[in-house]
Structure 1
Amino acid sequence: MIQLFGLARLGRDAELRSTSNGDPVASLSLAFTYGRKGQDGKRPTQWVDGALWGKLAEALTPYLTKGTLVTVTVEDAHIETFKKSDGTEGTKLAGRVTGIDLAGGGEQRQAPAPAPAPRQQRQPQRNDGFEDDLDKTPF
């Protein structure tokens, strides 16, 4: 069994679907960069099609958006052949995602942040003779 582990960037938003018996599965397009930069200033990229299963797929799909950086473990990595639209055969690396952590980046799909609370007005001078003026505090 071949296992891959590393830092990858999502090439597109995760696509959640269900199998015929109702098991949730999310399809992930993972881009792993490796090696030295070429003359064009870019590192080579290995694309991997990953499948994330179960409740983890359901819970994480909204956060797995294009460009998001993830650390990922892919088990049972293997080469699959497929027919391209022009009739030729192609190959791709694929596997089952067994571990994934969000590392940052990507688009955020969250509700807008709530408006900040209004500032409290300054308190009047206290009766104990000390001035409550935080603007004059040097720290």
Structure 2
Amino acid sequence: MQTLIIAGNVGKDATLRRTQGGDAVLGFSLAVDNGKDAQGNKRESTWYDCSLWGKRAESLELHIVKGSKLTLQGTPTVRVHEGNAYLGIRVQELTFMGGGQRGDKQGGYDQQDQGYGGGRSQGNGSGSADGFDTEIPF
């Protein structure tokens, strides 16, 4: 199995869709900065189409907004459309890195933000010993 870990900025607000079977899927794009070349010129960013599935998708729809800084871990994907290949990632784990805007707050999440536990979202849906309800979907 391949695992991809990337960090970058969300390009536009996430969009929640449903499959024909009713499963929730949250789609968003992430730009990964590739630094500068030997001459000091900025390299072009690499864009990834990201998908997050299930209850976590529903829960995080309003929190993944343009400019949010995220680190993602998941399975790499490639989609071909009209002869162009698009890189993607099926997200299994994500971390909010802060620095983006969310309503009246700046940056990441804390434990007061509806139980997000420091901004880390695990993919197995189980609770933990830190006192959070086991019904939290991520």
Q: Is the TM value for this pair above 0.5? A: yes
Aligned residues: 105
Write out per-residue CA displacement over residues 30-70 of structure 1, whole angstroms, 9 at most, x where no aligned residue: 11123435757534311111110011111111010001001
Q: Does 1:27 align with 2:21?
A: no
Give the TM-score of the pair, scaled to structure 2: 0.66
The equivalent residue for 1:94 is 88
CA RMSD in angstroms, aligned pairs only: 2.1
CA 63–37 in structure 1, closer or farther in 2 if over 3 Å, else same: farther
Q: Quick one: distance in 2 between partners of 1:13 and 1:40?
A: 31
Q: What stretches of structure 1 of length at least 5 have no aligned partner?
A: 84-88, 112-139
Whichever of the two has the greater Rg, that structure is 1
Q: Quick one: distance in 2 between partners of 1:82 and 1:72?
A: 24
The equivalent residue for 2:77 is 78
Whether the aligned pair in 2 keeps the contact of 1:68 and 1:107 (CA below 8 Å) is: yes
User: Per the alignment, in what secondary structure is the counterpart of residue 21 of structure 1?
Assistant: coil
Give the TM-score of the pair, scaled to structure 1: 0.66
Q: Does 1:109 align with 2:103?
A: yes
The equivalent residue for 2:112 is none
Greater displacement, 26-35 / 13-22: 26-35
Q: Which has the higher contact order (CA 8 A, sep 6+)?
A: 1
